[in-house]
Structure 1
Amino acid sequence: MKSEFSEDITIVFSNECSIEFNSQKLASEIALEYLNIKCKTRCIPLSSFLEFKTESTNKNLNKLTNVSKKVHEPKNIVKNGCCSSHKNELKTLMFIFENRKGNSDVIKLENTLNDWLCDFRVDKGDFMNSQVVFVIQDDSAEDSIYSDQFITNLRNLFTDLGFKLLVDDNFYIKNGDIGQILSMIDYIAEKKESYLESLKNGEPPNSNHDNHKEDSEDVESEEEQEDDSEGDIENLGEANRQMTTPTQRKRLIKQGYRLIGEHSAVKLCRWTKSRVRCYKHTFYGINSNQCMEMTPSLACANKCVFCWRHHTNPVGTKWKWDTDNAEFIVSESINAHLKLIKELRGIFDTKMERFNEALKIRHCALSLVGEPIMYPQINELIGELHKNEISTFLVTNAQFPKEVESLVPVTQLYVSIDAPDKVSLKNIDRPLFRDFWERFLRCIEILKDRRERTVFRLTLVRNFNMTEQKSEIEGYANLMRLGEPDFVEIKAVTFCGTVHDNAITMKNVPWHDEVVEYSKALINIDDYVRDYYDLVCEHRHSCCVLIAKKSYCVNGKWNTWIDYPMFNKLVASGRDFTGLDYSCQTPEWALFGSPEEGFDPEDTRIYTKGRHKLNK
């Protein structure tokens, strides 16, 4: 079925491509990301955009009449469908300028636009449903040599020609900065969607620079934007205080999320629905049917290639949205989760004992989607959960060191370790922060000083962060030495189907035995890891193993499980405590090498092949 709103993009790059600033390469990178999300895209040099040329239609008539009719390239863009007069379409014309002096193409563009304004052959009505966007090849506005007045002149000229200007600011992007490219695409899409939605609802569209009117309110608005210019590009234009657009909310709801307020969500974990034990039960003694998976922040600062949320959530590097109260989020999340649980009552083979247990939430996994630590009231939210005697398992992508440092104690703090070096982390996590590696290392360093149980979570993706090179495994060992985590979870990536910008296929999913061998190689990579860590647990069904500090082996018995009542008492007491203070013995069946391979013997394992089920 064809989409109601077309997504055609024309990218115009400078002709003068130097080694340092190659605008054609950047245009290709942007076009590739647009093609990944099924947008019709084409790249043309600026000289082609500026030229007049013979119209190609009706060649026989031109020969007979000896008339050489000239048309400008933007008119051809209209004819080729890259700009449109259809009211439910808004095409994008993107210009890429190299950040260097003496770029004659930039001067030619301004001169040509002035000429077009006076040319009868240029119909201003052709571009009324097209928007123009400006990209500067550089890290930030502070480094740009292009004055505000120059860009303002171009904006005014394009407006006079009939173009829409929905994006007030320039995008500053360097070649290869995929994180910034993706955040720009998301930001443009949100602006476009808001504009089209207003047209659809018959509301006055919020298009900028109409007739260059600048009253006192406009000047004040511009000053506010200048104050926020320190933020990354995805933080520009903060008029919309809602985190999610209507389309994003629809997609999340379709995927099974129950949205809470403006920026939170819960979803029923598949282990809760299947009423069996997940690997967290094997490793830490969590009762899967009593676990609530939720997030107080749908937004994230990464666009990981293996993200199973299909990138339907917003992205950002700082909190810029309306904030719901922590008590409200916890209360509504519990209510929404229990409603989802009650829907399981009539399902065949539901064990009523497990069902009744599930109505009492004992654990909360703050890892559903987005980056929970971005939520400004995260400490208050954790306090509300602990007040209800709900244990907390918080996962962070290690991009917010200040928030990690100020975080109150949780039951277990996870840091996602998706790559052992800067280049690999950029490729697999596609972070939005430019100083992502420094932030990553700082978060790991802070982890060493945390007193609760801490975990490195390694998601192995074959050919991405699992090449089995010695230097790669040494990189992970160096991170372990820096953060000194209590535990290291090593898990095979979960394939969740094809996504438009997801490069993961089943070929990238390692087998459980490969995960085990990789874990053994990590333990034996150097003396530090060998002396302080050991391979303790496995859960074959999840392709996951657990490495633990040897300090958790007390009197010859491993203590990876959590004493949850003890944790609740320690939190209520207000005194300092460590992870060992609320740890308890791991059962034999959960240990690595056991015949059960991490599967709780109290449950019945079901092997499926097509429609036939064989009970073990």
Structure 2
Amino acid sequence: MTLRYESTRELLKKHGYHLAGTHSAVKTCLWLNKSLRNEGSCYKSRFYGIASHRCIQMTPTLLCNHRCLHCWRAIEVQAEAPESWDSPEDIVDSILIEQRRLVSGYGGSEIMDKAKWKEAFAPKHVAISLSGEPTLYPYLPGLIDEFHKKEMTTFVVTNGTNPEVIGDIRPTQLYISLNAPDKEIYKRACGPLDDTWERINQSLEVMRDSRARTAIRITLIRGVNMVDPDGFAHLIETAEPDYVELKAYMHLGFSRKRLSLDSMPSHQEVMDFSQKVAEALDYRITDDSEASRVVLLSLNPECYDK
């Protein structure tokens, strides 16, 4: 079922998104909440030194050309492209205003860390990965530059369907989500609206030459794509990323309408599959987080510094 853009916005509001400008959105994540209460931090804090309470989770567009089974977003509700696109400057200003508004809501909590709460009003990191495919926003390079001007690090997560854009951006860290070892499983797991498998392969080649820190992100779904570690390894070899993250599908949000609880692998299953991929790649398991059911691989573990 395709609903109009305004219906998409209304649905997102109900689920805690703050809309920014014409087509952008921001939302606090579970780990920001936990960090403010000293109850833990995101695995990105453990792996890459990101301060969870000072990290923004945002998107410059609600559009996406995938319909992934594991996505916790409401992919059944399709957004339409806006008549005109907001400028990078306007998006950054709007996102920062909405993030501060979201953070201010924690001010009355008795179990909140007051020092962290004050720091949260001055975010240092932005994950461009909330909803939608960021490379569909036509001014993504400029958006990244605007965040960098404010001395913020940028994490861009893309599905890899627009290799030309990937070649133009310079984030702090570039993720490509690679959720299948071959074209047939890709069609099943990711539900692409167009035949973009070859374009994803092109993006892996582009990633190899990126100046950013690079990572391949694999979401593992039991019964769907936890197969053929050698196939995954072959694709990863093309990109030569600094890191590979293998993470369990989590039975959350709207994904519960598409997948059963049994589709969520245990941390040990993720560890076992990661070991097979690592051996096929000559990478090493560098770290893991059992709470998030995620494993980190690195080609040069001696260079990894928590």
CA offsets per residue over residues 449-499 of structure 1, 9 Å max, x none?
1121110000000000014xxxx1111010111111110001001111565
Deviations 1:246-304 (A, max 9, x none): 22111010010001122100001111012231100010010000000001011011011
Counterpart in the other structure of 2:164: 402
* 1:340 alignment counterpart: 102
**Partner amino acid for 1:389?**
E
* Counterpart for residue 111 of structure 2: 349
Cross-structure match for 2:64: 300
2:291 counterpart SS class: helix
Aligned residue number for residue 214 of structure 1: none
What whole-Å deviation, never above 9, does each CA across 1:178-237 have from its counterpart, x for those lacking one? xxxxxxx42xx54xxxxxxxxxxxxxxxxxxxxxxxxxxxxxxxxxxxxxxxxxxxxxxx
Q: TM-score, normalised by structure 1?
A: 0.48
Tell me, in whole angstroms, the C-alpha distance in 1 between the residues paired with 2:213 and 2:201: 19
In structure 2, relative to structure 1, the CA distance for the partners of 1:391 and 1:497 (3 Å cut) is: closer
Question: CA separation in 1, counterparts of 2:10 and 2:110?
Answer: 29
In the alignment, which of 527, 530, 534 is matched to residue 284 of structure 2? 534
Q: Which amino acid aligns with 1:251?
A: L
Report the 3-state secondary structure (helix = DSSP H, G, I; strand = E; otherwise coil) of the residue aligned with 2:94: helix
SS in 2 for 1:541: coil
- For the pair 1:426 / 2:176, whether they are aligned, the reply is no
Deviation at 1:348, TM superposition (A): 2.8
- Distance in 2 separating the partners of 1:294 and 1:520: 32
| Aligned-partner Cα distance in 2 for 1:416–1:455 | 9
**Aligned match for 1:283, one of 41, 47, 72:** 47
- Cα 1:273–1:312, aligned 2, differ >3 Å: closer, same or farther? farther
Match in the other structure for 2:234: 478
How far has the Cα of 1:323 moved from its partner?
A: 0.4
Decide whether the 8 Å contact of 2:24 with 2:62 is kept in 1: yes
Tell me the secondary structure at the aligned position of residue 538 of structure 1.
Answer: strand
Q: Which amino acid aligns with 1:286?
A: I
Alignment-mate amino acid for residue 487 of structure 1: Y
Distance 2:99 2:131 in 1: 16
Shift in Å, 1:524: 1.9
1:257 aligns with 2:36: no
Is contact 1:495-1:504 (8 Å) kept? yes
In structure 2, which of residues 243, 260, 264 is the aligned counterpart of residue 487 of structure 1? 243
Please list every run of 5 or more consecutive structure 2 residues that lacks an aligned counterpart in the other structure.
none
Identity %: 35
Secondary structure of the residue that 1:402 maps to in structure 2?
helix
Q: CA separation in 1, counterparts of 2:140 and 2:103?
A: 25
Query: Which residue does the alignment assign to 1:568?
Result: none
Map of 2:93 onto structure 1:
331
Contact persistence 1:498–1:504 (CA under 8 A) = no
The structure with higher relative contact order (CA 8 Å, sep 6+) is 2
CA 1:486–1:515 in 2, change beyond 3 Å: closer, same or farther?
same
1:511 aligns with 2:273: no
**Is the contact between residue 298 and residue 313 of structure 1 (CA under 8 Å) also seen in structure 2?**
no
Give 3-state SS (helix, strand or coil) of 1:457's partner: strand
Q: Which runs of at least 4 in structure 1 moved beyond 6 Å after TM superposition? A: none
Structure 1 residues 497 and 327: alpha-carbon distance in aligned structure 2, compared to 1, 3 A threshold = closer
How many residues are matched? 302
Alignment TM-score, normalising by the size of structure 2: 0.95
Rounded to whole Å, the distance in 1 between the matches of 2:291 and 2:212 is: 28
CA RMSD of aligned residues (A): 1.6
Is the contact between residue 497 and residue 505 of structure 1 (CA under 8 Å) also seen in structure 2?
no
